[in-house]
Structure 1
Amino acid sequence: MSFKIAIIGAGSVGFTKKLFTDILCVPEFKDIEFALTDVSEHNLAMIKAILDRIVEANRLPTRVTATTNRRVALEGARYIISCVRVGGLEAYADDIRIPLKYGIDQCVGDTICAGGILYGQRNIPVILDFCRDIREVADTNAKFLNYANPMAMNTWAAIEYGKVDTVGLCHGVQHGAEQIAEVLGAKSPKELDYVCSGINHQTWFIELRLNGRPIGKDELVAAFEAHPVYSKQEKLRIDVLKRFGVYSTESNGHLSEYLPWYRKRPEEITRWIDMSDWIHGETGGYLRYSTETRNWFETEYPQFLEAASKPIDPAKRSNEHASHILEALETNRVYRGHFNVKNNGVITNLPQDAIIESPGFVDRFGINMAAGITLPEACAATCMASINVQRMSVHAAIAGDIDLLKLAVLHDPLVGAVSTPEEVWQMVDEMVVAQAQWLPQYADAIPAAKERLSKSKVKTREWAGAARRSVRSIEELRAEKAALKQAG
């Protein structure tokens, strides 16, 4: 087979390498072309050198090109994968820093909450540019695979306004299933069968079977509470499991941001989180992790390049959906996964226009969703709160409507639990002004926002958050890795 895959945001070096090696684990795909594109020539050069080394080491005919000209990369592409982070770590730092001034403590801030909503405002204009280029220069039947957050908002914009065949992809379901299999004592995650449905980062394991045996709430709660690690790291998820009756896919820290109950008071935050790793609830945890990862990669790049000389091992193919979807579409080997698509009746008690994440099957005829799923009422109610915020956020981003943007932020569950309307209005003005270079749709609103900020009397505070850790130096990271290696 010979076709072209374009990867936008290919400068996300580690993730691009993973997708690349996954796809090349499919024997029929050895003769394809990968077209890499990114706004950073530096990152493009690094990832191209790594991928070229993989091709050379494995003696493959695979072609790899790299360009900062997106349209050139997209020309004739059958599949387009997006891994973009618009504004990079600079804008992301504001997504965490500014809401903290108003008492809003986020662990990740890339899906909803104040940071996730502003992230969507930066992404959506760019997503629409991608879609325009896809319609104009890509293959007629091109499929857009979006890995970038905020997943639901990006996918919503691409489908509804970009008019491109789009699916959103995430790995939260797979990771949650691995946890469940482990606590139940399964020898392999493949022993666990499940139906998991909802919206991205709020997906729920509504049916579980281990080797064909149904697993109920009480057994699952007991298994998690008995686990020596997860009982400490996933306290909040276990509490939600007890109250809702089903387990959530999302990590302890991420889930805490989407609910209005666990992060609204600083003294409560430390009760529910765990500081053993960023993902369990640390203030700005993902920002710290991302910063350390970038610094580590830049410093240790020669070692990453050397590691690329190893043969590709199909047994190590990851559970990221992309390669499996492409394999099913091109070879008709059926794949079952969980995909972000427009609802259209798939989940009976969520809105038709919402972007849902639910099971589907892929073959030559495309992605075929399993329809007629009804969520437990509490799960649907929690999803609805986020869907309403997502819808307003998308519409605000499309129109450049700062008043609707403020209403979207006001209706966010955690923001609404912490901040007053006056605080929300000022916070949004401050975030839009700080990120103006990535928000072209708000250009006309920026002067008035600056004027309001100059006259505002809403008090703020400089606050690091309830559970903040400093970014570790390269030397500290090296020492920690060496200690772990010695202990292991």
Structure 2
Amino acid sequence: MSSLKIAIIGAGSVGFTKKLCMDILCVPEFADVEFALTDISEHNLSMVKAIVERIVAVNHLPAKITATTDRRKALEGARYVISCVRVGGLDAYADDIRIPLKYGVDQCVGDTICAGGILYGQRNIPVILDFCKDIREVAEAGAYFLNYANPMAMNTWAAIDYGKVNTIGLCHGVQHGGEQIAEVLGAGPGELDFICSGINHQTWFVDVRLKGRKIGKDELIAAFEAHPVYSQQEKVRIDVLKRFGVYSTESNGHLSEYLPWYRKRPQEIDRWIDMSDWIHGETGGYLRYTTEQRNWFETDFPVFLEEAGKTLDPAKRSNEHASHILEALETGRVYRGHFNQKNNGVITNLPSDCIIESPGFVDRFGLNMAAGITLPEACAATCMASINVQRMSVHAAVTGDIDLLKAAVLHDPLVGAICNPEEVWQMVDEMVVAQAQWLPQYADALGAARARLAKGTVKTREWAGSARREVRNVEALREEKRLKDA
């Protein structure tokens, strides 16, 4: 196998970068790869470089680690480019949650659609297209772009249609949902098979088999309702399973954002969520979680560095797709996974141009999607509502058309269930002005947006949301971990 260079953009996402590198290094053929790490933060980059270098040294591997804030240099000659960026960081993300709350829109995550996810896409897409330009110009010919960054569908859509590079969008919702189903059914390793298809974060387990036996709706409902934990944490998912007949990949909190029936009235939210962990529906839950993890990492970096000094165990390789895709492309060992790609008829009742998440197989010949899947009609209808929002959002991000951006937000299912058009127009103006430094495509629209805000008549309120928890300090996180480990 020829020399292999893997560039990771947004490598300052330290924990995730560490996991990706460890997974890749578990493949014997990749012992001498070059990891080219790049990020806009020299501080984070230095930390992750130290961690990956320690992994390589402890395991006596010939792998090479480079780190630079010069993205183009990192991409030179790369065969694979992996992106896990968060454009605007936690500062912009805080606005994605805070500003919609002023208009009554209560989001748990806000990074896929909803007002927050749409604005997140506006920040990401211009940067994604810059990545693609560099890949076309300086990476190895035919290089693959593996996108882990949200909003997954929008980023992948833009990279394929406008970036013109070989792009695969990757998420782990399918794996996590499959693990839940295996647990409630009591499936052992290798005993559960499934077909999961739809769009990212609205992917559906349309065929579930235990030891080859097809599992029906009633059996799956009974299994989840009998589970002592999931019966309380996954109320939205279980309700949707009852009404649609299939289980969703997405967490309780995330799914509640895409289906407006569960978050449109504040007094209803507590009925459907669980506050035992952020992922089950807490207001701004993922923002709180990521803030706490950043603070913890900054404080406990020496501990994380020490933990990196363990011998790699291929048996503990994670189920993140990236290492398995690279292994299949380079060695020919076939990998079956669920990938984000252009539909092009794969799912028969979704538009050809949209980005789907569906089963596929990877080998030396590339990615081959399994075609001919038809979603249950309720699932397809739910996906269509998001697809139309995604399409408008991508086109707005590429063209800088603020009116189209407002139309996209207006058509978002949760926003549309809460806000009238006048409220949406003012909310978008406020978000674009607040995030102007990350939205170069809207530079010409800023003056008018500021003028409209100065004369705005929509009344807003400062509201923490229906189910908010405060960001905990590092000492509280340590104590929580101690109690869990006890």
User: TM-score scaled to structure 1, two decimals?
Assistant: 0.99
CA shift for structure 1 position 148: 0.1
Q: Distance in 2 between matches of 1:349 and 1:260?
A: 22
3-state SS of the aligned residue for 2:444?
Answer: coil
1: distance between equivalents of 2:181 and 2:62? 41
Structure 2 distance, partners of 1:59, 1:433, is 51
Q: Which residue in the other structure is 1:484 paired with?
A: 484
Partner of 2:109: 108
Inter-partner Cα distance in structure 1 for 2:257 and 2:172: 18
For 1:296 and 1:7, how far apart are their aligned partners in 2? 23
Give, in whole Å, the separation in 1 of the partners of 2:54 and 2:485.
27
Between the two proteins, the alignment pairs up a number of residues equal to 485
Report the 3-state secondary structure (helix = DSSP H, G, I; strand = E; otherwise coil) of the residue aligned with 1:318. Answer: coil
Q: Secondary structure at the match of 2:261?
A: coil
Secondary structure, aligned partner of 1:288 = helix
Structure 1 match to 2:67:
66
Give the AA of the match of 2:62. Answer: P
- Alpha-carbon distance between aligned partners in 1 of 2:333 and 2:109, rounded to the nearest angstrom: 36
CA distance in 2, matches of 1:291, 1:166: 30
Q: Residues 330-350 of structure 1, C-alpha deviation per residue, up to 9 Å, x if partnerless? A: 000000000000000100000
Secondary structure of 2:452's aligned partner = helix
Contiguous gaps of at least 5 residues in structure 1: none
Give the aligned partner of residue 198 of structure 1. Answer: 198
| Structure 2: distance between partners of 1:13 and 1:377 | 41
- The match for 1:42 is 43
In structure 2, the residue matched to 1:3 is 4
State the one-letter code of the partner of 1:98: I
Partner of 1:185: 186
In the alignment, the residues of structure 1 paired with residue 143 and residue 477 of structure 2 have an alpha-carbon distance, to the nearest angstrom, of 42
Distance 1:260 1:276 in 2: 22
1:319 corresponds in structure 2 to: 319
Q: Following the alignment from structure 2 to structure 1, what is the Cα–Cα distance between the partners of residues 481 and 137? A: 47
Instruction: Show CA shifts across 1:67-126 (max 9, x none).
Output: 000010000000000000000000000000000000000000000000000000000000
User: Which whole-Å CA distance do the structure 1 matches of 2:358 and 2:404 have between them?
Assistant: 29
SS in 1 for 2:260: coil
Secondary structure in 2 aligned to 1:445? helix
1:438 maps to what in 2?
Answer: 438
Q: What is the 5 A alignment of 1:11-410?
A: 11-188=12-189, 190-410=190-410
Q: Could you tell me which amino acid in structure 2 is paired with residue 14 of structure 1?
A: G
For the residues of structure 2 that align with 1:260 and 1:165, how far apart are their CA atoms? 34
Q: What CA distance in whole angstroms lies between the structure 2 residues aligned with 1:105 and 1:207?
A: 33
Distance of 2:328 and 2:211 partners within structure 1: 25
Question: How far apart, in 2, do the equivalents of 1:367 and 1:440 lie?
Answer: 34
Mapped to 2, the partners of 1:481 and 1:175 lie a distance apart of: 22
Structure 1 counterpart SS, 2:339: strand
CA distance in 2, matches of 1:59, 1:182: 37
Q: Residue type of the partner of 2:38?
A: T
- Deviation per CA, 1:382-415: give whole Å up to 9, x if none: 0000000000000000000000000000000000
Give how far 1:480 is off.
Answer: 1.4
The aligned amino acid for 2:152 is M
Residue 371 (structure 1) shift: 0.4
Q: Distance in 2 between matches of 1:11 and 1:480?
A: 25
Give me the whole-angstrom Cα distance separating, in 2, the residues matched to 1:482 and 1:310.
Answer: 21
Large movers: runs of 4+ above 3 Å: none
Q: After superposition, what is the alpha-carbon deviation per residue over 1:245-283, rounded to whole angstroms, capped at 9, x for unaligned?
A: 000000000000001100000110000000000000000
How far apart, in 1, do the equivalents of 2:426 and 2:41 lie? Answer: 33
**More moved, 193-202 vs 472-481:** 472-481
- Give 3-state SS (helix, strand or coil) of 2:426's partner: helix
CA distance, structure 2, for counterparts of residue 172 and residue 480 of structure 1: 25
| In 1: Cα distance, 2:371 partner to 2:299 partner | 48
SS of residue paired to 1:195: strand
Inter-partner Cα distance in structure 2 for 1:92 and 1:191: 40
Q: Distance in 2 between matches of 1:217 and 1:89?
A: 40
The Cα offsets for residues 324-378 of structure 1, whole Å up to 9 and x where unpaired, read as 0000000000000000000001000000000000000000000000001000000
- Name the SS for the 2:165 alignment partner: coil
Runs of at least 5 residues in structure 2 that lack an aligned partner in the other structure: none
> Residues of 1 paired with 2:87 and 2:78: CA distance?
22
Whole-Å separation in 2 of the counterparts to 1:202 and 1:128? 25
Deviations 1:45-85 (A, max 9, x none): 00000001111100000000000000100000000000000
Q: Distance in 2 between matches of 1:467 and 1:71?
A: 43
Letter in 2 for 1:195: I
**Shift, 1:187, TM fit:** 2.3
Aligned-pair CA distance for 1:186: 1.2
| Aligned mates of 1:320, 1:167 — CA distance in 2 | 13
The alignment's C-alpha RMSD in Å is 0.5
Bigger drift between 171-180 and 476-485 goes to 476-485
Structure-1 separation of matches of 2:247 and 2:484: 31
CA distance in 2, matches of 1:483, 1:78: 44
Distance apart, 1:287 and its partner CA: 0.1
Query: Residues 396-475 of structure 1: matches in 2 within 5 Å?
Result: 396-475=396-475
Counterpart CA distance in 1 for 2:225 and 2:467 is 24
CA distance in 2, matches of 1:141, 1:31: 21
1:481: how far off? 1.4
Shift of 1:442: 0.2
Distance 1:484 1:334 in 2: 38
1-structure distance, mates of 2:74, 2:97: 33
Secondary structure of the residue aligned to 1:371 is coil
CA distance in 2, matches of 1:17, 1:37: 13
CA distance in 2, matches of 1:412, 1:232: 28
Alignment partners' CA distance in 1, 2:476 and 2:366: 47
SS at match of 1:207: strand
